[in-house]
Every structure is written in structure tokens, then in C-alpha cells.
Structure 1
Amino acid sequence: MSQSHPKPIPAIEAQHSLGLRIIAIYKAIKTVGLIAIAIFAFRLDREENFAHLVDWLEHLSLTDSNSLRWKLVYTLQDWGPSKFVAIGLVALAYAAIFATEGTGLWLRKHWAEWFTVIATGSLVPIELYEVIERFNWIKLAVLIGNVAILIYLVRIAIQPRPKAVPES
């Protein structure tokens, strides 16, 4: 009876594993944030909750961001509570995508690398447009971060994989 010992993981493989884990954690944080947004949006679907939020914003005393507050109040009133169902559904859809990406990357699944490349890459043109049209440093940082993730994942995904050896 022979015991099989796991093969040592090469240093580059361990680095890739750590990189994928970091990206998976980033995806998990985004998933949790989107679920929170969805829950909040679904609660605003109810007229009384929506009215409480608008009332709270109207009476909030902020001196530095007063114009932003009123812009938000007017936008919310224009939208009305019914639009928040759509916002909640979109947030949940993105949360499901990010959760799938993160779980697959955490488990080191090859399909997850390509899935993340496609999903993240499809948003880069929109992010680029947003940076150009309405520049701010956060949008630029998100764009740079997503492009870095894309480059990293493509480099990992195109590397040859060792063939699985069937156990005897």
C-alpha cells in the first residue's frame, strides 16, 4: 500500500493562486455591495419607505453638499418608487455574475478565468466612456483596476494546463 504525496506547487503556480484569490475576494466584496444595494432598492419600492427617504433627505442639514442633496431629492422624485424594482433586479443580476466569477476563481477553475475576462472586458468600453465623459478619480481607478485584472487573467488563462492524470 503506497501513499501518494501531493506534488509540490511551483512558485509561479502559488503566485497565480494568490492572485486569483485576491480577485475572488474583490468579486465577493462587489457581490455583497450589490446585494445590499438590491435590498435597499427593493425596500424603496414601497411608497412609504420611499417617502421617508425623500423626507429625510429634504430635512438633512448638510452645508457642503447641499446642491448634491437637492439634485438627489429631485432625481428620486422624478424616478418614483417603481424604478427601484428594476434597480434591485439589475443589482442582483450583477451580484450573481460577480459571485460566479469569484467562486470559480477561488476554486481555480479555468472556465472562471475566461468568464471573468469576458464579463469584465465587456464593461471596459462603458467604463472608458464614463471616464472620458464624466471624469473622476474613482472611475479612473476602477477602469485601471479592471484592465489590470483583464491583463492578469488573460496571461494566466492562455498558459498551458497540465493534463489531469486519472487515479488508478
Structure 2
Amino acid sequence: MAKRDWNRRVCAKRGHTTYAPSEPALRSRLHTATAAGAAWRCLRCGDFAIGEPHGSGPADQAPAVLRGKALRDAFVLKLLAVERGFRGVLGILVAWAVWKFSNSQDALHQLFDQDLTVFKPVADHFHWDLEHASVIDSIRKSFDYKHKTLVYVAGGVLAYSLIESVEGVGLWLGKRWAEYLAVIATAAFLPLEGYELHEHVSGFKVATMALNVLAVLWILLGKRLFGLRGGVKAFEAERHSASLLEVEQAALGAPVHA
């Protein structure tokens, strides 16, 4: 199977990004004349695109364009951002439901008991002990929780959901602080997930924990957080080494701007 070209894939979707550096030698490497007019090399995919450049000026003021591995990593981060955003929205809805429940426990308890009697003949027909079913017992236990406890639970869920939402927005925008937040917030809940998995094993819990562990390791190592693998300096050096402008500057023997 052919290797996916992330650069051309993104250019096909968003269009090329061209730039005319003011340095003559570098400018000539990114420019060519064609029968259809002047063409400039795209800073992302490297292909020539006919038309005026999108910008011009000193090479060190050219727009930062993600290429190759950095582009692929940005795509993965956006997937994580969507997942975090979904969890954030879902958590906010759960917090609202718990808060509403805390203010209507007595009324809901009475309504539940009334409706339960309606389903009792059907349950008896199928020989299902409705009164001692685990689901029913769990619901009834929730009616015994104190109002104050439920408010605390709603507040905790809301706080966690807001963190997830902020994390999702930051990851979508490619902010480095969001990567730190994602690692810290995800790692902090791994012991709890491990405890829940120990108490009751399920395929969903195993998959969720495995996904979170992989996400933490990938962000930690791939983004070189907390000084790992050379830290932020090595991360920036790797990103600059993929820059088309800096590759061309290096070919000319010109100084590469950090």
C-alpha cells in the first residue's frame, strides 16, 4: 500500500501556501517561469503553483507551515481534541442531570415507585424479579443520597468536564500548554480507571484505559514534554528541519533562522 502523502493531501483540501522570500538566491529556488505565468513552490508540499505568492518578505518572517510528521501529528491531536470535546459536553450534561436530580429526589422517587408497579405484571409474566433486579436496586440507592452529596458530585463532574473542554480546544489549536494539560489530566485519572478495571473487567473499560495510556505516552514522547528526548529545543529543531524554506537555505549554505 502506498505511503500517504500528508502534505499533498492537505494541499488538495486547503490549497497551496506560497511565499516569495526577499533574499535573491533563495527567491530564485522557489520561483520558476512557465508558459502559464510565474509559479512558486508551495511551502507545504513543495510543488509549484501558478500565480502570485500568498506573501513575501524576509525568509525568517515566512508563515510556519506544518509538513510531514508534524502535519500527521497535528491530525492525531485534532482527533484527541474531538474526543476530549465530546467527553466535556457529555460531562456537562451529566452534571446538569445530577444537579436537577438533587433538587427533585422525592418527586422522582414517588414517580419511580408508581411507574414500577405498572411494569410488575409484565415482569412477572417473564419470571423476572423486578423488585430485586440490580438495575432497580442501583436506582433506589441513588434516591438515598444526600442532597449535599449530589451537589458535590455535580460540581466535580462539571469541573472535570470544563477541564476536558479547555483541553480539547487547546489541542485543536495545537497549543503546547494543552499537551501538558492532556498528559497531566489523563494520567491523574489512570489509577482510578485501573481500580475500576480491577473491580469489574469489561471490554469497554480495557479499551478506554489502553487508549488513554497510549495517548499519554504518544504526547509525552512525540512532543518531547517535560524535557524528554531533548525537550522543547529538540522538538523545535525537528520541526524546523522539515521546513521547506530552511531546507533550501541549508542547500545554499545560508544561515538557518531558528
Shared fold, TM over 0.5: yes
Q: Which moved more, 1:89-98 or 1:51-60?
A: 51-60
Residue number among 24, 33, 41 corresponding to 2:98 in the alignment? 41
Deviations 1:7-27 (A, max 9, x none): 543121111111010001101
Distance 1:111 1:8, change over 3 A: closer
Alignment match, 1:50: 105
Task: Tell me the C-alpha RMSD between the 2 structures.
Answer: 2.6
Q: Secondary structure at the match of 2:144?
A: helix
Distance 1:139 1:57, change over 3 A: farther
The answer to whether the 8 A contact 2:105-2:143 is kept is: no
Query: Partners in 2 of 1:129 and 1:70 — Cα distance?
Result: 24
Any idea what the Cα deviations from partners look like across 1:22-55, whole Å, max 9, x if unmatched? 0011010001011001111111121xx2234333
Taking structure 1 as reference, are residues 7 and 102 closer, same or farther at Cα in structure 2, changes over 3 Å only? closer
Deviations 1:125-161 (Å, cap 9, x if unpaired)?
Answer: 2211211122122221211111111122112220612
Deviation for aligned residue 1:86: 0.9
Comparing 71-80 and 4-13, the one that deviates more:
4-13
Secondary structure of the structure 1 residue equivalent to 2:137: helix
Residue number in structure 1 paired with 2:222: 156
| Greater C-alpha Rg | 2
Query: In structure 1, what residue type is equivalent to 2:205?
Result: K
* Identity score, percent: 24
Higher strand share: 2
**One-letter amino acid matched to 2:108:** L
Q: Find the counterpart in structure 2 of residue 88 from structure 1.
A: 154
Residues 57 and 138 (structure 1), Cα distance of their counterparts in 2 relative to 1, 3 Å cut = farther
Runs of 4+ in structure 1 off by over 2 angstroms are 1-9, 51-66, 80-83
Change (3 A) 1:128 1:110: same
Q: Normalized against structure 1, the TM-score is what? A: 0.83
- Which residue type is aligned with residue 112 of structure 1? A
More relative contact order, 1 or 2 (CA 8 Å, 6+ apart) = 1
The corresponding residue for 1:118 is 184
Q: Distance in 1 between matches of 2:163 and 2:67?
A: 31
**CA offset at residue 71 of structure 1?**
1.3
Bigger fraction of residues in helix: 1
Q: What's the CA shift for 1:6?
A: 3.8
CA distance in 2, matches of 1:85, 1:136: 29
Provide the rounded CA distance (Å) in 1 between the counterparts of 2:191 and 2:106: 36
Distance, in Å, in 2 between the alignment partners of 1:145 and 1:57 is 37
| Distance of 1:81 and 1:71 partners within structure 2 | 19
Alignment of 1:12-27 (within 5 A): 12-27=69-84
Mind listing any 5+ residue stretches in structure 1 that lack a counterpart? none
- What's the offset of the Cα at 1:76? 1.4
Say if 2:209 is the partner of 1:143: yes
